[in-house]
Amino acid sequence: MTQERVKSKELAELGEFGLIRRITAAATIKNESTVLGVGDDCAVLSFPGKRVVVTTDLLTEGVHFNLVYVPLKHLGYKAVAVNISDICAMNAIPRQITVSLAISAKFTLEAIDDLYAGIHLACNRYGVDLVGGDTTSSLTGLTISITAIGEAEAGELVYRNGAKPTDLLCVTGDLGGAYLGLQLLERENELFRQNPTVQPQLSGYDYILGRQLKPEARIDMREIFSALKVHPTAMIDISDGLSSEILHLCEESGVGCRLYEERLSFDPQVQKMAEEIHINPLVAALNGGEDYELLFTISLMDHEKVRNHPDITVLGHMTAKEEGCMLVTAGGIQEIPLTAQGWNPLKSA
Residues from 213 through 272 that contact its own copies (CB under 8 A): 235-237, 252
Residue 7 makes contact with its own copies by CB under 8 A: no
Residue 15 makes contact with its own copies by CB under 8 A: yes
* CA neighbor of 217 nearest in space, from 281, 290, 147: 290
Instruction: Please tell me the count of residues contacting its own copies according to CB under 8 A.
Output: 79
Burial class (CB in 10 A: 0-12, 13-18, 19+), 262: exposed
Identified binder of its own copies from the candidate list 141, 165, 210, 324, rule CB under 8 A: 141
Identified binder of its own copies from the candidate list 5, 28, 62, 153, rule CB under 8 A: 62
Residue 6 makes contact with its own copies by CB under 8 A: no
Residue 82 DSSP SS3: helix
C-alpha 153, offset from chain centre: 23
Comparison of 128 and 282: residue with beta carbon closer to its own copies: 128
Dist. CA 190–CA 172, nearest whole Å: 33
CA distances from residue 152 to 37, 47, 54, 121, 290 in whole angstroms, order as listed = 20, 9, 12, 24, 25
Dist. CA 329–CA 314, nearest whole Å: 15
Identified binder of its own copies from the candidate list 76, 118, 150, 177, rule CB under 8 A: 150
Residues from 97 through 126 that contact its own copies (CB under 8 A): 98, 100-105, 107
Is residue 208 a contact partner of residue 277, using CB atoms and an 8 Å limit?
Answer: no
Residue 134 makes contact with its own copies by CB under 8 A: yes
Dist. CA 207–CA 45, nearest whole Å: 38
* CA neighbor of 193 nearest in space, from 205, 183, 202, 185: 185
Counted residue by residue, the chain has a size of 349
Residue 302 makes contact with its own copies by CB under 8 A: no
Nearest approach in angstroms of CB 18 to its own copies is 9
Burial class (CB in 10 A: 0-12, 13-18, 19+), 165: middle
Residue 54 makes contact with its own copies by CB under 8 A: yes
Residue 286 DSSP SS3: helix
Residue 211 makes contact with its own copies by CB under 8 A: no
Residue 131 makes contact with its own copies by CB under 8 A: yes
Residue 345 makes contact with its own copies by CB under 8 A: yes
Residue 160 makes contact with its own copies by CB under 8 A: yes
Residue 137 makes contact with its own copies by CB under 8 A: yes
Nearest approach in angstroms of CB 201 to its own copies is 28
Q: What character string, x for contact with its own copies (CB under 8 A) and - otherwise, covers 162-201?
A: ----------------------------------------
Residue 96 makes contact with its own copies by CB under 8 A: yes
Nearest approach in angstroms of CB 338 to its own copies is 15
Comparison of 11 and 325: residue with beta carbon closer to its own copies: 11
